[in-house]
Every structure is written in C-alpha cells, then in structure tokens.
Chain A
Amino acid sequence: MMLVVSAFVLWAGLWALNIILARRLSEQHARIAVPVIFGLTLVLVVELMVRGLNVSFVILPKPSEMVVRLFTSYEMLWEDFAQTILKGALTGYIVGCGAALMVAFLASWSDFLRRGLLPLGNFVAALPVVGLAPIMVMWFGFGWESKAAIVVSMCFFPMLVNCVQGLAATNAIERDLFKTYAASPVQQLGLLRLPAAMPFVLNGLKVCTPLALIGAIVAEFFGSPSVGMGFRIKTSVGSLSLDLVWAEIIVAAIAGTGFFGLLLIIERSLTFWHPSQRR
C-alpha cells in the first residue's frame, strides 16, 4: 500500500517539477529535460504500482526486469533488429516512399493522371493493406524480402496522396507571380512547387514510419526465419518470457523514435517558413 501511495506522491511531485522547468528553462533545455522527466515518472510509477499491487509477471513484468533483459540478451536483440528493421522495414520504406514520390511527379505533370490517381490513392490508402501480409509471405518466401514487400505496399499510397496534394498546393497568385518573372518550368518546380510540397511530403514520411514497423513485424507472424522481432515476440509470448517481449518492444520504440526524430530535424530545416514551425 505504501508503494502505491508513494507512486501517486511521486507523480504529483515530478509533474510539478515539470511545470516549473517548462517555465524556467530555456527552450532547448526544456525540450529535452521535460519529456525525459515525464517518461521517467511513468516508468517509476509503473514500477511502484507493479510492486505495490503484486501484479503477476505473466500480466506485466517490472520495468527493471525489462531493462535487465535488454542488456543481458543484447546480441539476440541486435540480430532481430537488423533482420526486421534494417532489412525489412527500412528497405521497404525507402522503395515505397521513393516510388510514391516519382509517381506523384508524373501525376503533377498530367492533370488526367492526377484526377485518376488522387481518388484511387485516397481509397487504397484507407484499405487495410496489412491484410496482404500472408499473401506477400506466400509470394516472396519467409525471408526479409516479403517483409519489405508488405512495407512497400503499405507505405506507397499514404505517401502518394500526400505528395500529390503537396505538389498541387500552390495557389494561382504564386503561380502568376512566377509567370510574371518569366520563370522556366524547372525553376517553378524547384523554387515554388517543391518547397510548397515539402510539409506534405514530410507529413507523409512521418505517417509511413509506424506503418513500416507494423508491416514488417506483422508479416513475421505469418512466417519468418528463426530470427526477427515479430518471430521473437510470437515465440516469447508462447513461452511466457514476457520480459524478452518487452525488451523487443523497447528496441522497436527506440528505433522508431530515432527515425522520427531525424525526420523532425529535416522538417525543421526544410520547412522553417511554415506557420506550424514558428517558435
């Protein structure tokens, strides 16, 4: 009981600390310190609650046990990471988003193609494409190729819709201005249409990041070699070694967040002019 009470006290205390820090610290420091403290609070509260309420290991292991597992079996975790994320998800992400960008360029030159692709792309982006995972495993085998294939098919249409919308995001006044400057089509593309499309393109890239992770891991549930994060999660749930499952989840979280953070940095440097980026 003491542990549960102290969890609540800790929560209140650290939240108050965060409010003070958010006011006092400079922008740069607060941006790092505040979320870190918030995350630590969550972890500590969960740890204290699990201990205090005697939650069974089968339902939720203690966060400390997960971290211990992360360090004791890091070699296995690294192999799974390389198989699922570096080979499966990243390959598929690059191919899928790159192909979508190219098709969007084609569509931006042909009004007919744009009118055909945008409704269709919107439609397909809304489909549960992840259902194709068992079919991709049938076609491309158990290796990472089938995972990359499902990631390509999941990322392509959300990215396409964003890129097509982005390349059409200029308005008549801006285009007229470029015409009065006698800008060539290439100049108009490079100086007006591409920069105007960037917020949409980066939005698409951000939306595709979790899709790529989900696709690569789900596909492993339908068949994989004896390595990979989805495989490890499936077999570890079966043998009730839930600390290993959570260690895999932590690895996936770190990888995904790192990539997303990279996208945020790129977004800030490319679309600094957009109202949503103002400080």
Chain B
Amino acid sequence: MVQWLARSVLPVMTIIAAIVLIWYAAAVPMNAGRTYMMAPDDAEIALPDLVSDTWAQKKPRLPVPHQIVVEVRKQATFSWIWKEKRRGYKRSLIYHTWVTLSSTIFGFVLGLVLGVSLSLAIVYSRVMDLSVMPWVITSQTIPIIAIAPMIIVIMAAGGMTGLMPKGVISMYLSYFPIVVGMTKGLRSSEPILEDQMKTWSATAFQTFWLLRLPSAMPFLFPAMKIGLAAALVGAVVAELPSGARAGLGARLLVFSYRSETIPMWANLVSAALLAGILVVSFGLLERAVNRRLGFRNAGDVTS
C-alpha cells in the first residue's frame, strides 16, 4: 500500500501541485492589468493587495482554481431532478454534462463499430485496403466543424434532429484513431507466430481469434481511449454551430460571448471530469484485458 502510494500517487500529486502553484503565480501578472485599470491613476499597489485582488476578480483573464471550484459547486445542482416540472435544470452543469455525455457515448459506439469493421475489411481485403484507407485518412483532414452545420441540415431534411446529428459528428471523429490503431494492431503479430499457426493448420478464423485479435489489443485500447476523447471533442464541437441550447459546448459559446470567464472554466472543468471518468474506466478495462492476455502493463514493475 505504502509502496503503491509512493510509486503511483506521489509523482502525480507532485506534478499536480506544481501546476497549481504555477497557475496561482501566473494569475497575478495575467490579471494585474485589470487591477491597475480599476485603480486611480498613479496609485501604488502593494504586492499583497495586488495578489489578493488578482485572485478575486469577477471577470479575470485567468481565474484561479478555487474560484473555478466554487463556481462548479454552485452550478452543479441536482435538485432540479426531483423538483416539480424540473425547474432550474437549464442552469445545472449536471444537466448539460449529461446532454454532452449521451451524444458522446452514442457517437463513440457508432465510431467503434464503424472503425473495427473497416479495419477488419482493410486487413482482410486488399481492394478495401487500397481503395478505402487513403480516403479514411482524407476524411479526417476535412475539418468536422466545417461540415457540421451541413450534416445537421442534411439530416434534418431526412427528419433526424437532436442526438442523431451530434452522434454522427462524434462518430466521424472517433472512428479514425480506432481504424488506425486496430489496423496496425491486427498486422502486428510476429511472422513467426503466424507461421506457427499455419503449421498447426489453423483456420483463418482461428488465426484471427487466437493470434491477431489478442495481439491487436494493446493497440486497440489506446486507440479507443483517443477515440473516446475525440467523440467528446466531437460532441462539444457539434454544439457550437448547431444552435443547440443544451450541452457543454453550447454553454461555452454563450459564456464566451458574455466573456464570463469563470463559468467558462467551470464548463471546461466539468468536461474534463467527464472525460476523466470515461478514460479511467477504460484504463481499468485495459489493464484487466492486458493482464488476462499476458501483456505487460505500462505501470507494472519492470526488471
């Protein structure tokens, strides 16, 4: 237990502490301009006063962590869930996080299905590899934000609104890392092992199920984590041009127009917490699968 604390928790905590310290220090010069602007012309401001003012402004250029924590706690209300007529949900961070989470998960599942099936087709069919792979790459160089409004328009013409277009935009971003990682993984089994399977006269399916798929796992899981993150980016970005009222991206746009920086950071923090929960749960799954398949985990003790 003590060893685990020293090996895993202590380094992370040290770096987080360093970041928080730098953050507080950086807030002073970043926000000092406003303090001087509000003060009378040739006033001398003592350092303690300057520091306390820059850490407590209403619309600072860089809000300090405790201001953001206070804002998150103020906005993260659950009470609308059991209130009559669900009043006040529009101000709740929990509600907007849920809206973004639902389209993230939806888009990620779509992207996972599309990505894995595409990479299977690419690995097993030469025509698919030759014709589709360059276009998969090209698809990612088309900035999604540009076609997002058009996806929404085209899908609305087909009678689909709300979750569906946002999910498609998330899928568009999340399938790419999965295709790249899974294709690389499926091709990463050592030739000697494939020859071994051949000498055992394994069927194509057995080679896939017992050799290629397990050896793809260490590539698939990092790819899935990137894909999940990309799906969240997609969900946030999709809310920018769609005129959406709900969701973290929509709130971010509203607050940026009013230059209310503290709520902006509160929204970013809840998006970060959401991403963190998703990635940590995938990390646990990855460790379990890797251990079961006999791969080394990144954090394991190495000799």
B267 contacts partner chain A, Cβ-Cβ < 8 Å: yes
The majority secondary structure among interface residues of chain B is helix
Q: Contacts of A207 on B, CB cut-off 8 Å?
A: 177, 180, 226
Check B130–A120 contact: CB distance below 8 A: no
The one of A34, A59, A255 that contacts B127, using a Cβ cutoff of 8 Å: A34
The majority secondary structure among interface residues of chain A is helix
Interface size class of B (residues with CB under 8 A): 35 or more
Q: Pick from B157, B187, B298 the residue with the most CB of A within 10 Å.
A: B298
The one of B16, B142, B228, B303 that contacts A249, using a Cβ cutoff of 8 Å: B142
Q: Contacts of B28 on A, CB cut-off 8 Å?
A: none
In the bound complex, how far is the Cα of B62 from the Cα of A181, in angstroms? 53
Check B176–A210 contact: CB distance below 8 A: yes
Considering the complex, give the chain B residue whose CB is closest to the CB of A123: B276
B256 contacts partner chain A, Cβ-Cβ < 8 Å: yes
B6 to A: closest C-beta gap in Å? 10
B188 to A: closest C-beta gap in Å? 5
Considering the complex, give the chain B residue whose CB is closest to the CB of A89: B143
Knowing A34-B131, A115-B12, the reply to whether A233 touches B141 (Cβ < 8 A) is no
Encode B264-297 as 1/0 by CB contact (under 8 A) with A.
1101100110011011000100000000000000
Encode B165-193 as 1/0 by CB contact (under 8 A) with A.
00000000000110010001001111100
Encode B227-243 as 1/0 by CB contact (under 8 A) with A.
01100110011001100
Check A248–B141 contact: CB distance below 8 A: no
Q: Contacts of A229 on B, CB cut-off 8 Å?
A: 143, 146
Check B61–A217 contact: CB distance below 8 A: no
In the bound complex, how far is the Cα of B141 from the Cα of A138, in angstroms? 27
Residues in A223-279 with C-beta less than 8 Å from chain B: 229-230, 233, 237, 242, 245, 248-249, 252-253, 255-257, 259-260, 274-276, 278
Knowing A19-B127, A34-B131, A168-B298, the reply to whether A130 touches B138 (Cβ < 8 A) is no
Considering the complex, give the chain B residue whose CB is closest to the CB of A34: B130
In the bound complex, how far is the Cα of B264 from the Cα of A222, in angstroms? 14
In the bound complex, how far is the Cα of B278 from the Cα of A113, in angstroms? 24
A78 contacts partner chain B, Cβ-Cβ < 8 Å: no
Considering the complex, give the chain B residue whose CB is closest to the CB of A219: B145
A31 contacts partner chain B, Cβ-Cβ < 8 Å: yes
A150 contacts partner chain B, Cβ-Cβ < 8 Å: no
A185 to B: closest C-beta gap in Å? 18
The one of A120, A125, A221 that contacts B226, using a Cβ cutoff of 8 Å: A125
Check A249–B146 contact: CB distance below 8 A: yes
A183 contacts partner chain B, Cβ-Cβ < 8 Å: no
A60 contacts partner chain B, Cβ-Cβ < 8 Å: yes
In the bound complex, how far is the Cα of B300 from the Cα of A172, in angstroms? 13
Q: For the complex of A and B, list the 9 residue pairs with the smallest distance between their C-beta atoms, beginning with the closest.
A: A256-B141, A116-B11, A38-B131, A134-B256, A34-B130, A126-B229, A115-B11, A210-B140, A116-B15
Having A130-B233, A257-B134, A259-B141, one finds 13 other A-B pairs with CB under 8 Å, namely: A39-B134, A42-B135, A112-B11, A115-B8, A117-B15, A118-B299, A135-B265, A209-B140, A210-B176, A218-B143, A249-B142, A274-B188, A275-B188
